[in-house]
Copies of this chain bind each other. A is one copy, B any other.
């Protein structure tokens, strides 16, 4: 646990929070929390801070912390993802991965090669999504919960909703690595620009979908490694290379 995440409002008026359950157990059993110990923490969609252990009760499995929060909430990640709904097994792994990489908004979409049954999975239940995302935030020491929305009509999403977002770049990931590399694109982005990355289904987008995306300003780009990757690995590689380039560009 790289960060203790609190829900907004969990602390009382004096800035004291009493924890039970998994977080208390982790503090007691793994971090061996004892009074006086400082713990790195954050509030979901709020600031980072520290907590000083006031009381650590191994018998009752309770920990009480006095928390001090910073003034500012971490900035929202500048990368958003337009993702064709992957199969449930892959999707279940993705929530923590995406939150740890730092994604602002995950637009999950239907596509021609997305199986209809993928929409019925428990992996899309709000509590499952949230649990996975929180796990990723804890790993990455971030508090900014990615926004996740589900869209059954790619055309309506691409033509009506996405154009309202002021993206500095829209990138269409090529499975075979054609086009400019993601790190090169990252280097060329303006310092504060947001960017949207589209990653297709296994088997790829069909031609009318590619035409639709390109007509709406998506630029084709690839991974320099040029090998077809599983969706979860592709997300790590492409968003990771993009972020690496963005940091190097400035």
Residues of chain A having any CB pair with chain B under 8 Å = 2, 96-97, 100-102, 139-142, 177, 180-184, 186, 223-230, 233, 236-238, 240-241, 243-248
Contacts and interface: CB of A to CB of B under 8 A. Distances in A.
A227 to B, nearest CB: 4
Contact of A225 (B182, B224, B243): B243
Contacts of A237: 101, 236-237, 240-241, 244
Given A183-B183, A228-B139, A229-B140, A223 B248 contact: no
Contacts of A2: 228
A223 B236 contact: no
A227 B100 CA distance: 7
A186 B182 CA distance: 13
Nearest to A139: B230
Given A141-B227, A241-B245, 12 more contacts: A97-B230, A100-B229, A100-B233, A102-B225, A139-B230, A141-B228, A180-B248, A181-B183, A223-B240, A233-B236, A240-B241, A244-B244
Contacts of A96: 230
Contacts of A226: 247
B101 A233 contact: yes
